[in-house]
Structure 1
Amino acid sequence: MVKELKKRNYVPATDTIAIDLGLNPLIATNNGDLLGRQFFDFLKKMDEKITKRMAQVQRNGGLPSRDNRYREYVRRLREFLKNEINRVLNRLINLYKPMKLVVERLDFRSPELSKRMNRLIQNFGKRYVKEKLERLHQLYGIEIVEVNPAYSSQECSSCGYVDRENRKSTQEFECKCCGNKMNAQVNSAKNLLERSSLREFHPHLPKKQVLKVLIQRHLERLKGCKSAPLDILKGNPYYREFLENILNPRQGLTLS
């Protein structure tokens, strides 16, 4: 629980900034900023140390939670997470002085890290981000808007097409429909900003419902024409599930 803080004088210079929280980098904004680029490098080094020490302790029949060196590694990780999250979010506020921050429901995980490291980051990282956002709200009156992130990493911020193959890597996004290319986290941040103004989305909307809304919105743009992307849609399992019920044969759009 964050204690109540005295509000400071703060004059917003920007209306709204949306941020995608990740590990490499820590934060990407809808404007294209990448903040905390060394975040993941440190995590990988600490992951190696923690995993190696844990294995050594367990081979000797001990418990990692009672081993001084293991506990010191975890303490250093927690300290780094807290300091870096504070530093990067402070930099963001100084850079834009936003009236409103749009954020996703937090999920700090990476397949490049061990299960133990992912669990530690989830436990501590989520808490520190939540605490920092609450401080920013109390100190500066910044409105924190939480947005459902489902499929935001697979949705094209330019044309709205949703495809798991759009996300080429943790860093690269290339839309298979319109060819839009950009940093993957920046693309996600742009989608979060868009969703913050739409009534259809709320933070706890089930993923299947989010996908349905996204597909409906994308297909809405194809009404009344036989658009070339329809060939792509027919091979996409996301669209196959919903297309029959959404497309109107009288408008010339069919799966045949």
Structure 2
Amino acid sequence: MSVVRIGAVAAAFGRDLDFDLQRIATLIEHARRDGTGLLVLPDAALGGYLTDLRNPDPDTLPPALDPDGPMIRKVSVLAGEMVVCVGYCETDGSNRYNAAVCVTGDGVLGRHRKVHQPAGEAAAYTAGDRFEAFDTPVGRLGMLIDYDKTFPESARALALDGAQILACLSAWPTSITNRAPKMAQDRQSRLFDLYDCARAAENQVVLVSSNQTGAMGGMRFLGQAKVVGPGGDIVARTWSKAGIAAASLDVGAEIATARRVLSHLAERRPEVYR
């Protein structure tokens, strides 16, 4: 077993890809100096998220990037020996996906396309169709994007595929229908934390939750990046401010301890579930 330094980023990103890449470079360098082995950047860190979730303007959508193109390769080079997860808008023929990629300096380790789409997001993106875990130098990992983590089945599918770490990349805003005067009182602020802790605890895995900060169009993002242990306890967090929530964990040992008496995955009864 070995200890790994894990970082979850809260930061603002927009349409300027050069600016975004420079911010990513700065965050990776800060994390490297801190001894980080896994860094999870927010959803849409390359190109920014939508400006309106209910009625996306087709003329102001994020830039669609080639999954094997130069921007992803640049992030890979920046990552070097680190494992880095980053979100972006992926192009595949005529389809656009809200996507995430996990890289090291050696190349791509894994990919994910957001499966669950809230409100009007289907007008901007095509939905993904699978959840798959993959091996990395810091352990077996699976990725979720935004609304995916609202659904217990998403995280459970990855845990059943052997994921020890769930990287949850978000551009999660405050409530768009009933915004609270203070962010800490916002319904979505409460749910964001609730889902992070519940998905970690019910699957007894480590969860790394990144999120955007600041605002874009009518969207105001929560921040609240965090690292959650397999007991559902928050071991590091940024609250609403920009920064990196970092914690050092022996992932395998933490999971083994959590599952020593009660092992949720082993004690499932799928034959009685409907």
TM superposition score normalised by structure 1: 0.33
Please identify the structure whose Cα radius of gyration is greater: 1
More helix by share: 1
